[in-house]
Amino acid sequence: MTQNAFNQGNATPPLLTPTNGRARPDAALIDDWHVVAFSKDISEGQLTPTRLLGEELVIWRHEGKVHVWKDLCIHRGAQLSKGWVVEGTVVCPYHGWRYNCDAKCVLIPAQPQTKPPLKARAFPHRCEERYGMVWATLGNPSHDIPLFPEATDPRFECSMPAPILSTQTVSGRWKISLMPRTSPSCTLVLTA
């Protein structure tokens, strides 16, 4: 717990974690879409940690909608992924601040009668579900998630195995495979 952005009055800590000397990923990667999970693995009421381009993230779902946030509580820098979900809110494991689906803090247990300040927020990243996968970006892509019309075309077979190191060719059909790129995120490839 090294960050204390909230108490330092910094309402907007950098959305991307400082690299501490490591090279920042190419802007083209930051402003692109990446697969961060299979949809089937993101259940209601669970918090799933992952990492994308060196950035710690937490993925969760409420009423069907998936959310991808920076894995950081603005209060004292705890990892939200180590908390839990209560009534559609993510509860920080350290002091129990609760964040709703809009990433706003809606309860500070130490001051239950006080409305949390506006700067008490989590840090959401853009995300979408498509082709049975959760896609997220750390930046602001000007383009949409890659189009794979074959994914819903009954003439094609869409298979999404666990991350694999080789692809299989299905004669006369297409196959969508996931290949590791920046563990544990994956790259979607289409092979014939």
Q: Which stretch binds ligand FES (CB under 6 A): 22-30, 94-102, 127-135, 153-161?
A: 94-102
d(CA 52, CA 135): 11
The residue (of 82 and 130) whose beta carbon lies closer to ligand FES is 82
d(CA 164, CA 186): 10
Tokens of 25: 């990923």
Q: Which of 35, 92, 151, 188 binds ligand FES (CB under 6 A)?
A: 92
Does residue 38 contact residue 113 with C-beta atoms inside 8 Å?
A: no
Q: Which stretch binds ligand FES (CB under 6 A): 22-30, 33-41, 71-79, 166-174?
A: 71-79
Q: Which of residues 114-133 bind ligand FES (CB under 6 A)?
A: none
Q: Does 73 contact ligand FES by CB under 6 A?
A: yes
Q: Which stretch binds ligand FES (CB under 6 A): 39-47, 73-81, 118-126, 175-183?
A: 73-81
The residue (of 7 and 43) whose beta carbon lies closer to ligand FES is 7
Q: Does 30 contact ligand FES by CB under 6 A?
A: no
Which positions touch ligand FES (CB under 6 A)?
A: 73, 75-76, 78, 92, 94-97
